[in-house]
Amino acid sequence: MQAYNELQEKAKLIRKWSLISTTEAGSGHPSSCLSAADITAVLFDKYFTYDIARPLKINNDRFVLSKGHAAPLLYTLFGMAGAYPLEELKTLRKFGSRFEGHPVPRYVYAEAATGSLGQGLSVGAGLALLAKRENLPFKSYVLLGDGESAEGQVWEAANFASFHKLDNLIAILDANRFAQSGETMFGHQIENYVTRFHAFGFETIAIDGHNLEEIDKAFQQAVNNNNGKPFAIIARTLKGKGVSLMEDKGGWHGKALKKEELKKALEELGTTNDALRFQFKKPASGAEASPKAPLAADTSIDISFDPKKEYATREVFGETLTKLGQHNQEIYALDADVKNSTFTDNFLKAIPERFVECYIAEQNMVSVAAGLSRLGKTPFVATFAAFLTRAADQIRMARVSEANIKFVGSHVGVSIGEDGPSQMGLEDIALFGTLPGTAVLQPSDAVSTAKLVPQMAAWPGMAYMRTLRPKTPVLYDDAQDFFIGGSQVLRQSDDDTLTIAATGITVFEALKAADELEKEGIHVRVVDIYSINPIDKSTLIKCLHETKQPTLITVEDHFYHGGMGDFADEAIEELNLRVHKMAVTGISESGTMEQLLNKAGIDASNIVGKVKQLAGAYAGQPASMHA
Amino acid sequence: MQAYNELQEKAKLIRKWSLISTTEAGSGHPSSCLSAADITAVLFDKYFTYDIARPLKINNDRFVLSKGHAAPLLYTLFGMAGAYPLEELKTLRKFGSRFEGHPVPRYVYAEAATGSLGQGLSVGAGLALLAKRENLPFKSYVLLGDGESAEGQVWEAANFASFHKLDNLIAILDANRFAQSGETMFGHQIENYVTRFHAFGFETIAIDGHNLEEIDKAFQQAVNNNNGKPFAIIARTLKGKGVSLMEDKGGWHGKALKKEELKKALEELGTTNDALRFQFKKPASGAEASPKAPLAADTSIDISFDPKKEYATREVFGETLTKLGQHNQEIYALDADVKNSTFTDNFLKAIPERFVECYIAEQNMVSVAAGLSRLGKTPFVATFAAFLTRAADQIRMARVSEANIKFVGSHVGVSIGEDGPSQMGLEDIALFGTLPGTAVLQPSDAVSTAKLVPQMAAWPGMAYMRTLRPKTPVLYDDAQDFFIGGSQVLRQSDDDTLTIAATGITVFEALKAADELEKEGIHVRVVDIYSINPIDKSTLIKCLHETKQPTLITVEDHFYHGGMGDFADEAIEELNLRVHKMAVTGISESGTMEQLLNKAGIDASNIVGKVKQLAGAYAGQPASMHA
């Protein structure tokens, strides 16, 4: 059709630059760009509403490239929208370039880092949910590959989108038949995608993804859709479309053309009008999001705990988050059907408009939070610590995305008792601790919890808090200060033999051990490591200087490798000393907290034993005799 | 109906013991047991074929309790089948009891540890696939909760089951409307489950889960189904069915009845015939699986590498696994559409009958492997190391299940280059290293890779191998031995100042650094830590004794926290020394391997700098001056 001639020329230009940039890089995924060139040409030319000078304008449409390996397509699209000269694409995949192999945040037009497949629909759903909740006019478009639709997270996102009636979400499935190592599960039987998305509550349409008129009509229908259902365009496409060498052929995933192949391919494409550009419709004027600006630490929250009572830190977390949310409109709370255990149900009651029920689908929950974070929100994601491992890849990618998500994992360690090992969070410090710049906290009592939640909200970037199932005594005065990177010395004398650094439930075991040892005339220093990363290096070093022996014992309800002990060990590097770690070394079981702490070797009696061993204090002999 | 009177009585007995055991324990999930009591009574009474004396008989039917919190139901069912006296259920959730809060392997009738939701259908699919591949007659039954069907893994498993035509798989969805913290996404609108399973390729039937006749007919249809489609029974049930206090009421998830409530509940159930038992049909005679017996280390594999050539360890892994598989019928290979990158495509070509394509769905892949392991297979699960994080929770649960799975993660570290951070495995040592008893290996050349793959297969329990994207030179002679817990000293002299322990790609950087330092008259010892956990403690200690300084530098292409350095640090504890770690501290980017290793601070030049700093060797001054 005549009307689509210019569009066809634009699609040709997209193809040209997807090919040139990857050949220049010597690697990349041109065939995966070519299959979606026609679809995205129509979207960007006729439908996309965006202020190219202000990517974070909250009224802009959003485009999430879930199939992140098609990054050169994304880079070409925004280049053709005038964001930068297309010539800059020749730096693709080169050290220092913003055009990385897969999109990352320094490319400001990417809504999230992608490249681990199957996460984009959740990010797009997070953005669409935000538009619904905050009455923003934008559409959220997500381009998915067919291969990645095998990832369960896609169906978590689909359920989420239809349940939350996100009819401003438009999924486009680029069904080009080939995945990396062969045909996809369904090849070109695209009805398999149609029936699945339909069953999951989407409006669906199947089209030929290279027929510009069909594409155009599909988008028309999609943007006018307002029946409460999200929309899915299932596009039958050809991988490598437009270049006969690779078109609809296996073995072309992730392969750039050689220089001579490129020459032929460009000849085959024919003359291009290199001046063609997209002219985006401008969105209504509106604010710009500031996702990188952390919240101010809110110190105005009233704290008042009865020192004679016991509190579960998970409960105090829920109550504090609710107060914090009432003070600050940017805070959202996300749940995966454990809100009565993490106590975010308080938040739901008080602030339903910023509470997001994600049901039992942790992966989608984390990526939805990444979407909220993109537009300046501070999402708190809370579930059992054990079940945050379900979203380890999404958490990893959220970190690559520089998402400002706060994670809270309850029911940590063997101290949960009777439920047994499947419910015990024993890998969580390792999980969050490996991710650069991620704060890891574990308050042991009500006061420290209430004081640290606002600190966490204010931390620039990702932060994680472990909370406890059982109730614990109040250790601190309401007026006490707590901060990320701090600690509290709970026992100290001029006569301390050595130092015990504990965190969470083991703080109480360490205190009991100190009492026990005191009776035998052995004084120990006890430090509450409520901030695991960063850890309070100066206090630890001070303790080592001030005690009779430069001996530091760490004790924690976490697996041995990757826990707090390793952070403490790092902290004392400059003294050329090392810690003595006590942690969980085997799979636990059902039992009472006391039985399991004892069997894991981290209760008061175990600590007493370790201190005596290290202090050489058996039978009252001085430490030096047994050093 | 008259015919169902006895069945009704048996269901009543199931209810009775689900209630008694949880009240006795003071915690647990009786309401979740009661909703499924009628369904399972019919299944166990009329359909289940099983030799109760031999749970691992390979012809037995399999029952996977995906909703693991209904453990008392499982325990009651096998008790009523004569496995043990029902009275023993009064030890539920008590320390030392095999009846833990959620099923674990010491309860031998559990097919896998469950309790992290949404994993059971994959385990059941793994078992069903095995039956298809090895011509076994059994059916694989999986009882799912409705809440857990929000987990994406359920839909990964559904796709897998229909793609692989597992018509011996029968999923039973217990749609009791309530999840933990409130109603499920769909409540009693069970058509939502029917349409979803149907769209994913299942035969489906919707029934009243408390109508014994309807249940019976559904199972009849299911067991006779042989049209290539897996079967799903969607049962509308009432949570807490049979006890008016909790029946179909919210707020009863995970709550045991109090003693006085139990009394009333039992009165309401009425008289029971406590002698009623299930009489399973015996399966055809056949072998018993030995999942705990590790394979013998196969040393018969021919190894021959050209010392002048370079090889990618990932490629050598794929070739060696294929040879190993040809020698050993128990080995399976599982892929998530990266077989041309991990080189398991060799295995597919040679042994298609034991290759399992899982497409891009890593979670399902791992739990399928857990199913294969249950019946004595040794599954190798290979994908990019970065994407093993996608299945962190399934890996965690596989460890709780004591599954004998071997994991291989390719494309580790920043050394992958241009693809950027989303594809870099930098958390994998932490992920596997935290799990007790899990071997972690990283060979750096062809010979060590080929020698370690059989060792890994023979390791009792889970093992993980990191493999490299780039090709590396051959370091070792074909005759050299390698073993789990070993290392290789690559450079040593009588005049070594200190020791560098490297692993994988950094071995080559350490060797380059040693050459550089040699020119300046500084001799260093270089150790290849090909076994990260367990690590070669005696060699490290020996090095510290033999070098001029007791200084150990570790260098690795992994994030700083939780990597090899921490294992090395642990190893030298008895010397009261500590390592000096070099590892990746920030998010990487696209670039050449050389650029990224340099920027990450782990290339030869960085190592040279670190050695000089620690050796105090600037300007030729002796080390002691700068200690």
pLDDT tens for residues A477-526? 999 999 999 999 999 999 999 999 999 999 999 999 999 999 999 999 99
Could you say which of A96, A361, A389 has the minimum Cβ distance to residue B393? A389
> Minimal Cα–Cα distance from B146 to chain A, Å?
10
pLDDT, position A292: 78
Please say whether the beta carbons of A555 and A509 come within 8 A: yes
Mean pLDDT of B22-35: 98
Q: What chain A residue is nearest to B159 in terms of C-alpha separation?
A: A150
User: Does A341 contact B533 at a Cβ distance shorter than 8 Å?
Assistant: no
d(CA B598, CA B593): 8
B418 touches chain A (CB under 8 A): yes
Number of H helices and E strands in chain A, helices first, is: 22, 19
| Closest chain A C-alpha to B554 CA, distance in angstroms | 14
Strand-pair partners of B383: B409
- Cβ pair A390:B116 closer than 8 A: yes
Helix runs in A339-464, H state only = 339-342, 345-350, 362-374, 385-388, 392-400, 428-433, 446-458
| Whether the Cβ atoms of residue A153 and residue A141 lie closer than 8 Å to each other | no
pLDDT digits (tens, 9 = 90+) for B179-203: 999 999 999 999 999 999 999 999 9
Interface check B25 vs A, CB under 8 A: yes
The contacts of residue A2 (CB under 8 Å, 6+ apart) are none
Q: What is the pLDDT of residue B624?
A: 37
DSSP at B574: G
pLDDT of residue A387: 98
Contact B422 A115 (CB under 8 A): yes
> Which pLDDT belongs to residue B576?
87
User: What are the angstrom distances between the C-alpha of B32 and each of A10, B138, B148, B253, B511?
Assistant: 58, 27, 13, 7, 60
**What DSSP line would sit under A123-171, residue for residue?**
HHHHHHHHHHHTT----EEEEEESGGGGSHHHHHHHHHHHHTT-TTEEE
Residue A294, pLDDT score: 74
Residue ranges of E strands in A279-419: 310-312, 331-335, 355-357, 378-384, 406-410
| Other CB atoms within 10 Å distance of the CB of residue A491 | 20
Considering only the beta carbons, identify the residue of A93, A115, A430 that sits closest to B434: A430
The helix (run of H) or strand (run of E) holding residue A173 is: strand A169-175
Query: Exposed (0-12), middle (13-18) or buried (19+): which is B471, by Cβ within 10 Å?
Result: middle
Give me the pLDDT at residue A498, please. 97
**B93, B200, B340: residue with CB nearest A590:** B93
Determine the pLDDT at residue A1: 56
Residue A100 annotated to the active site? no
In sequence order, what are the residues at sequence separation of 6 or more whose Cβ sits closer than 8 angstroms to the Cβ of residue B62? Answer: B111, B124, B127, B138, B139, B140, B141
Q: Could you tell me the maximum CA-CA distance found in chain B, to the nearest angstrom?
A: 98
Q: Is B564 on the interface with A (CB under 8 A)?
A: no
Instruction: Report the chain A residue with the minimal C-alpha distance to residue B401.
Output: A422
Nearest CA in chain A to B251: A340
Query: What letter does residue A403 receive in the DSSP assignment?
Result: -
Give the gap in angstroms from C-alpha A49 to the nearest C-alpha of chain B.
29
* CB-based contact, A179 to chain B, within 8 Å: yes
Mutate to test the interface with B, among A194, A252, A360, A566 (most CBs of B within 10 A): A360
Q: Which H, E and C letters describe B280-343, residue by residue?
A: CECCCCCCECCCCCCCCCCCCCCCCCCCCCEEEHHHHHHHHHHHHHHHCCCEEEEECCCHHHHC
- What does the pLDDT read at residue A624? 37
User: Looking at CA atoms only, how far is residue A137 from chain B in angstroms?
Assistant: 27
How does pLDDT run across A246-256, given as a tens digit for each residue?
Answer: 999 999 999 99
Question: CB contact, 8 Å: B446 with chain A?
Answer: no
In the block, residue with structure tokens 């920027």: B599
A67 touches chain B (CB under 8 A): no
Q: Do B561 and A567 touch (CB under 8 A)?
A: yes
Q: Which residues numbered 256-315 in A keep a CB inside 8 Å of some CB on B?
A: none
Give A195's contacts in chain B (Cβ within 8 Å). 199
| Residue A235: φ, ψ to 5° | -110, 120
**Closest approach of A527 to chain B, Cα-based (Å):** 22
Q: Does the CB of B435 have a partner CB in chain A at under 8 Å?
A: yes
* Contacting residues of A for B156, CB less than 8 Å apart: 150-152
* Angle, CA B175 vertex, CA B39 and CA B173 arms, to 5°: 60
B557 touches A: beta carbon within 8 Å? no
* Smallest Cα distance from A105 to chain B, Å: 11
Cβ contact (<8 Å) for A93 and B389?
A: no
Specify the pLDDT at position B295.
81
Say whether residue B353 is in contact with chain A using an 8 A CB cutoff.
no
* Residue in B360, B434, B591 closest to A150 by CB: B360
pLDDT one-digit tens code per residue, B568-599: 999 999 998 999 999 999 999 999 999 999 99
Which one is predicted more confidently, A294 or B132?
Answer: B132
A418 touches chain B (CB under 8 A): yes
Looking at residue B130, what is its pLDDT? Answer: 98
Mean pLDDT value of segment B393-407: 98
Q: What are phi and psi of A35, to 5 degrees?
A: -65, -25
Q: What are phi and psi of A50, to 5 degrees?
A: -165, 135
Tell how strand B523-528 and strand A580-584 pair up: unpaired
> Between residues 530 and 549 of chain A, which touch chain B (CB distance below 8 Å)?
533
* Chain segment B269-291, per-residue pLDDT in tens: 999 999 999 999 999 998 999 88
**Chain A touched by B626 (CB under 8 Å):** no
Q: Give contacts of B 356-375 with A, CB under 8 A.
A: 357, 359-361, 363-364
**A200 touches B at CB < 8 Å:** yes
B345–chain A Cβ distance below 8 A for any pair: yes
| Contact flag B95-A596 (C-beta cutoff 8 Å) | yes
Angle at B209 between CA A341 and CA B132, to 5 degrees: 90
Closest by Cβ to A116, choosing from B26, B150, B422: B422
Contacts of B31 (CB under 8 A, 6+ apart): B176, B178, B239, B240, B246, B252, B253, B255
Per-residue confidence band for B296, with pLDDT thresholds at 50, 70 and 90: confident
**Chain B touched by A469 (CB under 8 Å):** no
**Cα of B206 to nearest chain A Cα, Å:** 16
Alpha helices, DSSP H only, in B164-258? 191-199, 212-224
Distance CA A163, CA A165 (A): 5
Is A116 in CB contact (< 8 Å) with chain B?
A: yes
Query: Does the distance separating the beta carbons of A421 and B185 come in below 8 Å?
Result: no
B160 phi and psi angles, rounded to 5 deg: -60, -45
Nearest Cβ partner of A150 from B361, B573, B578?
B361
- By the CB < 8 Å criterion, does B586 face chain A? yes
In this prediction, the residues of chain A whose per-residue pLDDT falls under 70 are 1-2, 616-627
Distance CA A590, CA B93 (A): 5
Which residues of B, range 46-65, sit inside 8 Å of A by Cβ? none
Catalytic residue, from B362, B402, B509, B556: name it. Answer: B362
Closest alpha carbon within chain A to B27 = A418
